[in-house]
Amino acid sequence: MGNEKKLDVIRNYISAQFAGFVVDSWEELDRYRYELRKDNCRHLILVLKEFLDAFDAQEIQIQLANYNVAMIARSLGDLPILVTTSGCIFDRDTT
């Protein structure tokens, strides 16, 4: 299964969890970047390509929920989080 289906799953998850937010996304060297904005609120979610490679589309949906990606992003505010094959981590080195 191609990455487009998997990327759709991620975008759908983010859109559902952050209703009303503007979501900009693009591919970077080793990850996909999702910048979310609404009024004065901003979140940054980075998804490693190895995360996409490790799971099929259905598993990605399950993992995003299991990792509590939305809750962690909300709790960290504008600090970036990185979604890896083993969970979410705070990524202070991201600009």
Whether the pLDDT of residue 2 is over 90: the answer is no
| Res. 95 pLDDT band, cuts 50 70 90 | low
Judge contact between 81 and 72, C-beta under 8 A: yes
Exposed / middle / buried, residue 19 (Cβ in 10 Å: 0-12, 13-18, 19+): exposed
Return the pLDDT at 90.
82
Return the pLDDT at 3.
87
pLDDT (tens digit per residue) in 11-34: 999 999 999 999 999 999 999 999
Nearest to residue 35, comparing CAs of 3, 80, 70, 4?
80
Is pTM beyond 0.85? Reply is yes
pLDDT (tens digit per residue) in 28-76: 999 999 999 999 999 999 999 999 999 999 999 999 999 999 999 999 9
